[in-house]
Amino acid sequence: MAAISREEVAHLARLARLAVNETELDTFAGQLDVILQAVARVGEVAAADIPPTSHSVPLTNILRDDVVKPGLTRDEALSGAPDAADGRFRVPRILDEEA
Amino acid sequence: MSDVTRATAAELGRMIGAGEVSAEEVTRAHLDRIAAVDGQVHAFLHVDAEGAIAAARAVDSARARGEKLGPLAGVPIAIKDVIATKGVPTTCASKILEGWRPPYDATIMERINAAGMVMLGKTNMDEFAMGSSTEYSAYGPTRNPWDLGRIPGGSGGGSAAAVAAYEAPLAIGTDTGGSIRQPGAVTGTVGSKPTYGGTSRYGLVAFSSSLDTPGPVTRTVLDAALLHEVIGGHDPRDSTSIPAPLPAIVEAARLGATGDLSGVRIGLVREFAGEGAEPGVAAAVREAIEALVKLGAEVVEVSCPHFEYALPAYYLIAPSEASSNLARFDAVRYGLRVGDDGQHSLEEVMSLTREAGFGPEVKRRIMLGTYALSSGYYEAYYGQAQKVRTLITNDFKAAFEQVDVLVSPTTPFVAFPFGSRTSDPYQMYLADLYTIPTNLYGGPAISVPAGLSEGLPVGLQIMAPTMADDRMYRVAAALETVIPPLTPPALSGSNS
Amino acid sequence: MTITAPPEFEQVVARYEPVIGLETHVELGTNTKMFCGCPTEFGAEPNTQVCPVCLGLPGSLPVANKAAIEATIRIGLALNCSIASWCRFARKNYFYPDMPKDYQISQYDEPLCVDGYLDVEVEGQTVRVGIERVHLEEDTGKTLHLGGATGRIHGATESLVDYNRAGIPLVEIVTKPVAGTGALAPEVARAYVTELRDIIRSLGVSDVRMEQGSLRCDVNTSLNRPGDDWGTRTETKNVNSLRSVERAVRSEMLRQASVLDAGGTITQETRHFQEDTGDTRSGRSKEEATDYRYFPDPDLVPLAPDPAWVEELKAAMPEPPRVHRERLREQWGISELDMQSVINAGAVELIEATVAAGASPDAARKWWLGELARRANETGAELAEVGATPAHVAELQRLVDEGKLTDKLARTVLEGVVAGEGSPAEVVAARGLEVVSDTGALTAAVDEAIAANPDVAQKVRDGKVAAAGALVGAVMKATRGQADAKTVRELILSRLGAV
Ligand SMILES: [Mg+2]
Ligand SMILES: [Zn+2]
């Protein structure tokens, strides 16, 4: 049985903001299925009493003093912007028209 | 004067410091070499000739003023294009960042610049460091100087190829699942992955934050240690940077170069023996280990029963983190924007941009990670993978109670021909079989040339406990006394 | 389904029991942002308080602000919470242009402070509001919507983003559901936010100004019939003043009751409070369930507050506002009822500061609850923003006590202060309002009045002291009110040998 359906792949693409086309959807569905079946093996060994490791270095409480540091100028901040206006980043309308 | 492009970084640093050659001469020689061969190799995405010459001249005038120079001052270096370089294009080999010039320098770039090193340019890679062949660069693949029909490894194929082809004596790579070591192995160069947290990630465009580690790509072990010393050490801008001094790695490399390994215990991972390394690779590695024994090392077989789960755990953890790290490429603050024509909403523009800007491997991993993190699957996938990480770490810790270092082939196979693994993503993932456990554990590992198989380089991987990077440099430098640096065949259109 | 006319509130609470919950976001007043060294000052030019970290530039990394962690622990302690011995930041993943990394660093299943409470007083009753959690996260940028009718996101053709606010430390305080408050539910909600604001202000960790958005409130409301399970709740956002908190609960209770009365069901949804009409409106209708894909942020390491550190912070906690107010009440020697009117007027701290500046409690209370409260009422301003400071009021009272101003003059001077003409002394000087205390000038005026009113003067001489009032009036008139009536009276009596 497939681990992931074509509909699920379409949902993931939506969540990840990827406008995948129909052909890609099929390709990804097949490939993700193979990969997921392979990686699902992690479930074989990891028992409930094993603590998870999120970092290889067991550091805690890495904190910064509350002191202002120089940042970027506005020109630097906007230098990579696809579009800017009035010192701000310009984006197209946020809501869909029918909303 | 002999060809400075053949010299090691340590030699170049000494010669520049002694005034035997100027930094500008050294830089120009490398720029000439790039001009001569990079058309074939395609190691570079961007060459900053002007910036390099200016940096070299600054070193020369500092020397003229009588200033004391560091050991690598004036030595050229190539930087993987995943490292932010102020004012110099940084693309991660992706269309989505085409033309982006960061307004800031990565911490390791600040340190490289402060050491008086000369950045030649930015090297090619698999897009966002996702791949094992550099075939997933949006700007065309890098070719292996040993055989232009074969891959140079990945993701840092550009850095490895640049060093192998004498375009640069030093390069920076980044290693998430083997992206420094695996290209090192297949190009006959030295690839060193420091302890996670031993080199700063600030300014390294994140692929998998809990695994990414920048490190040296060189032709000799001493050069790797020297570069490691420049870029390594605590960085308060990286919360995961280890607030402790680096081990004495340069001394360790020098000690290893005496060729004495008596008292050193070397572990062979039993579980790796059965895992399909090509016969030629297995043979070369066996010979390298015998050489280490002749130098006085003791070999012990150890068991790491959970290593077989490393690859599955990695392909859950890395894509999960990547799916979140790569969300910021959304067509708002930098990079590509597609579809902003008044017809599309921002959400559509984001989706169209990401669709057009990311290549297939990046999209595949984003989708995989999005799936693994989504509610209902988190525990079964990401959660379980984190537990496997604990088990693998325990395996390493148990092994290091018996031995000082672990050794293995770096890759199961030598450089493969272009296109031979791109159709099956999971087959490509197997290239990192031996390198991935270390990333999950966080310890240091280095790949050093272990000879040839069918005329192509084979790498030996040496793994050490976290923050014991000195151990791997010692063993690697000792091996170098038996297996000297490899020289690839001459590239056409160049005199060597 | 038809929606019937809104039933009267009393009838609603007779038929339904409300359950409320509040989620409050407080922007901390740290010098720098949560994960970078950018300044946090309000009102800077757009995109001038940004760096690679808070712009989410590729390669940048967060480092947590120690002062923000400390402030959050202190808020947790003030709300009687347990402080986690180990916790982590998580990433909340969703795409939005005001969020530079397209994920928010927040705390998810491991908040820094959990399980506390806050007691609030409503109509003489103490209501205990349970605190579910206090956690730390980062604020988003600010978006300007263009092309639409009113600057709203709906109908806008494009938007402009400023990331100055992006990354400012934000503390989220979530209550447990509060049930059983019946008709008092709206007031409980308001009293809770008021008390929370006072606590946070007393800690000095935020200026908690709702009008600047440094304190923001989301209000959850549901209704159920007595004996039934709790109803479906709605979440009302955009509640930007204390008064609105109360109104939002009330109007949502009325709205839900009318839906339920008509046999309808409540949809779990986000609603927006309308400041102008005082009711709530449904948010986006076609909102799909979002999957935030929370996971521990691998760029940050766990927080494990050292118990000794927490104890140290606990030892340095200021007096809780409730205790502090009770102590003030005793010091000021006023009744609980009088204290309540001080609290209702939002004048506790102002009076306290005025007393600290040298005025008597009675005088301070008189000015703030009288003249100044009236002014604030007229202009719709907060008392603290009325234009006079505690120092001004104390100075004004001193001038009165020294006899340099009469009460009447003082009110005129206060007008000048409120109008921004400067300190009381400056207004006195500029307007020439000082009491005529020059005895020579005053004696002349008294003699003039006596000469002009011989009959009255004679009556006084004859012992009819009360008649002196007419002479006092005449002198006051002649000095245009700038003399002290008491002094004038004494002078008259002594001139006429009546003392
Ligand atoms: Mg929140
Ligand atoms: Zn910043």
| C436 has pLDDT over 90 | no
- This complex has an ipTM of 0.97
Task: Go through B63-88 and write b for each residue having 16 or more CB atoms within 10 A of its CB, e for each that does not.
Answer: beeeeebbbbbbbbbbbbbbbbbbeb
> Does C427 map to a domain?
no
> Does B318 map to a domain?
no
Residue C4: per-residue pLDDT: 59
Are C284 and A59 within 8 A, CB to CB?
no
> Does C2 map to a domain?
no
> Does C316 map to a domain?
no
CB C90 within 8 A of CB C296: yes
CA A72 – ligand 2 centroid, Å: 8
What's the total number of domains in chain B?
A: 1
CA B111 – ligand 2 centroid, Å: 22
Q: What is the mean pLDDT of each run of 10 residues along chain B (496 residues)?
A: 89 97 98 97 98 98 96 98 98 97 98 98 98 97 98 97 98 98 98 98 98 98 98 98 97 98 96 83 96 98 95 96 98 98 96 98 97 91 95 98 97 94 81 94 98 97 98 98 93 63
What contacts C370, CB < 8 A, 6 or more positions away?
none
CA A34 – ligand 2 centroid, Å: 42
Q: Which residue has the tokens 């993932």?
A: B429
Residue C469: per-residue pLDDT: 86
Q: What is the per-residue DSSP string for C323-336?
A: HHHHHHHHHHT--H
- For residue B122, the 8-state DSSP code is E
Q: Assess whether C447 and C479 both reside in one domain.
A: yes
Residue B2: per-residue pLDDT: 66
Q: Assess whether C408 and C306 both reside in one domain.
A: no
Q: Assess whether C282 and C369 both reside in one domain.
A: no
Q: Assess whether C252 and C151 both reside in one domain.
A: yes
Crossing angle, helix A22-39 and helix B310-325, to 10 degrees?
A: 140
> Does C4 map to a domain?
no
Closest CA to B185 of B462, B443, B496, B422: B462
Q: State whether residue B215 is helix, strand or coil.
A: strand
Domain ranges, residue B66: 3-258
Q: Assess whether C221 and C368 both reside in one domain.
A: no
> Does C322 map to a domain?
no
Residue C220: per-residue pLDDT: 96
Give the model confidence (pLDDT) of C445-472 as tens digits: 888 888 888 888 888 888 888 888 888 8
B179 is catalytic: yes
Domain ranges, residue C462: 439-495
Distance CA(C485)–CA(C376), nearest Å, equals 30
What contacts C451, CB < 8 A, 6 or more positions away?
none
What contacts B444, CB < 8 A, 6 or more positions away?
B192, B193, B194, B195, B198, B438, B463, B464, B466, B468, B469, B472
Per-residue pLDDT of chain A (99 residues; tens, 9 = 90+): 567 899 999 999 999 999 999 999 999 999 999 999 999 999 988 778 899 998 888 899 999 999 999 999 999 999 999 999 999 999 999 987 644
* Structure-model confidence comparison of residues B495 and C226, the more confident one: C226
Residue B1: per-residue pLDDT: 47
Are A38 and B315 within 8 A, CB to CB?
yes
Q: What is the mean pLDDT of chain C?
A: 91
Distance CA(B62)–CA(B64), nearest Å, equals 5
Distance CA(C23)–CA(C9), nearest Å, equals 24
Q: Assess whether C379 and C275 both reside in one domain.
A: no
User: Which CATH number characterizes residue C485's domain?
Assistant: 1.10.10
B303 is catalytic: no
Backbone phi, psi, residue B449, to 5°: -60, 135
CB B354 within 8 A of CB A18: yes
- Which residues on chain B are in Cβ contact (under 8 Å) with A16? 323, 327, 354, 366-367, 370
B155 is catalytic: yes
- For residue B165, the 8-state DSSP code is T
Q: Assess whether C116 and C159 both reside in one domain.
A: yes
Residue C407: per-residue pLDDT: 82
> Does C98 map to a domain?
yes
Q: Is B90 on the interface with C (CB under 8 A)?
A: yes
Q: Assess whether C51 and C94 both reside in one domain.
A: yes
Q: What is the per-residue DSSP string for B296-313?
A: T-EEEEE--TTGGGHHHH
Residue B493: per-residue pLDDT: 58
- Which tokens in the block code for residue B75? 């030595």
Residue C442: per-residue pLDDT: 81
Residue C1: per-residue pLDDT: 45
* Residue percentage of chain C with pLDDT more than 70: 96
Residue C6: per-residue pLDDT: 63
Which of C347, C382, C416 finishes a domain? C416
Q: What confidence tier does C285 reach under pLDDT thresholds 50, 70, 90? A: very low
Give the model confidence (pLDDT) of C170-218 as tens digits: 999 999 999 999 999 999 999 999 999 999 999 999 989 888 888 999 9
User: Which CATH number characterizes residue B176's domain?
Assistant: 3.90.1300.10
CB B303 within 8 A of CB B271: yes
Which of the residues B22, B80, B193, B323 is marked catalytic?
Answer: B80
> Does C450 map to a domain?
yes
Half-sphere exposure of B275 (CA within 13 A, CB side): 24
| C283 has pLDDT over 80 | no
Q: Cα torsion at B292, B293, B296, B299 (round to 10°)?
A: 110
Which of the residues B137, B155, B200, B408 is marked catalytic?
Answer: B155
Domains of chain A, with CATH numbers? 6-45 (1.10.20)
Residue C289: per-residue pLDDT: 63
Q: Is B106 on the interface with C (CB under 8 A)?
A: yes
Residue C149: per-residue pLDDT: 73
Q: Assess whether C288 and C349 both reside in one domain.
A: no
Are A35 and B388 within 8 A, CB to CB?
no
Residue A99: per-residue pLDDT: 41
> Does B454 map to a domain?
no
With the C-alpha atoms ordered B123, B125, B127, B129, is the resulting torsion angle positive or negative? Answer: negative
Nearest-Cα residue of chain B relative to residue C292: B374
Q: Is B367 on the interface with C (CB under 8 A)?
A: no
Helix, strand, coil fractions of chain B, as percent rounded to 5: 45, 15, 40
Least confident residue range of B149-163, B218-232, C135-149, C406-420: C406-420
- Which residues on chain A are in Cβ contact (under 8 Å) with C145? 94
Residue B422: per-residue pLDDT: 82
Task: Go through B278-310 and write b for each residue having 16 or more CB atoms within 10 A of its CB, e for each that does not.
Answer: bebbbebbeebbebbeebebeeeebebebbbbb
CA B388 – ligand 2 centroid, Å: 36
- Which tokens in the block code for residue B54? 């200016």
Are A43 and B390 within 8 A, CB to CB?
no
Helix, strand, coil fractions of chain C, as percent rounded to 5: 40, 20, 40
Q: State whether residue A39 is helix, strand or coil.
A: helix
What's the total number of domains in chain C?
A: 3
> Does C247 map to a domain?
yes
CB C294 within 8 A of CB C57: no
> Does B395 map to a domain?
no
Cα end-to-end distance, chain C, whole Å:
86
Residue B21: per-residue pLDDT: 98
Q: Assess whether C282 and C366 both reside in one domain.
A: no
Q: Assess whether C242 and C338 both reside in one domain.
A: no
